Amino acid sequence: MEINKSKGIIEAILFAAGREVKITELMLALEVSSEEIIKIVESMKEDYKNENRGLQIVSIEESYQLCTKQNYYEYLYTILDKRNKPNLSQAAIETLAIIAYNPKITRAEIEAIRGVNSDGTIYKLLDYNLIEETGKLDAPGRPSTYGVTSEFLRIFGFGNLNELPDLPRYKLDENRQIVIDEIIENKKAENNTKNNAENTIQEKQATKVKQEEQEAPMPKTGTSKQEN
């Protein structure tokens, strides 16, 4: 099929769909291989960029979506419904970041990291479609696990979770999960160190008091002789 015709078909599909379109769907429509689809779309991306168009094709995992360019947002904002933009608090951003780096994290684990209750924040992120339930943990109570959605990737400009910047503080395991057990253990170690220090001070104070009591002169007591 002619390359320009293929580009036109893909553009029409992405525009009409208004969502992420999987590579497999485009393969079925054009009857070509995934390699050919990727090659055509990458060429289309360059076309949009070089022609200074207001649109762009965003890669989201194994899908593509036709979107407006971010640098034109200020012009769109005056026309489109402003309520469509999520208003995220600092707590919501913190929780969202934790979930993004931990695709299968539970509510209890989120709260262990943040140190506060996160019920309301999680409900808000679910309502904004920035996170979703990813399953149930095989543990007592079968707690739900959470992960970010493709909407999160699209809004923040990531193609997949591998594009997230590295964390400077926390260790990640082979699944890019924060090693939460280590965080909890570190907190316990810090608390133990603090408690040990407090105990040491108390022991020193007790020892000092005992020494002072031992060094204090014994009180004199009178003696009486029993007369026969």
**Fold for the domain defined by 3-72:** Arc Repressor Mutant, subunit A (1.10.10)
> Which CA distances in Å does 128 have to 10, 50, 158, 177?
29, 34, 17, 23
Q: 86-168, which class in CATH? A: mainly alpha
The string of pLDDT tens digits covering residues 4-46 is 899 999 999 999 988 889 999 999 999 999 999 999 999 999 8
How many other C-beta atoms lie within 10 A of the C-beta of residue 102?
25
Q: Find the length of the chain.
A: 228
Answer yes or no: is pLDDT of 194 > 70: no
Q: Where are the domains of the chain?
A: 3-72, 86-168
Fold matches, 3-72 and 86-168:
yes
Q: How far is CA 116 from the centre of its chain?
A: 16
- Residue 226: is its pLDDT beyond 80? no
Q: Span 140-161, mean pLDDT? A: 85
33 CB-contact burial (10 Å; exposed 0-12 / middle 13-18 / buried 19+): exposed
Task: Tell me which residue of 124, 99, 126 sits closest to 110, measured CA to CA.
Answer: 99
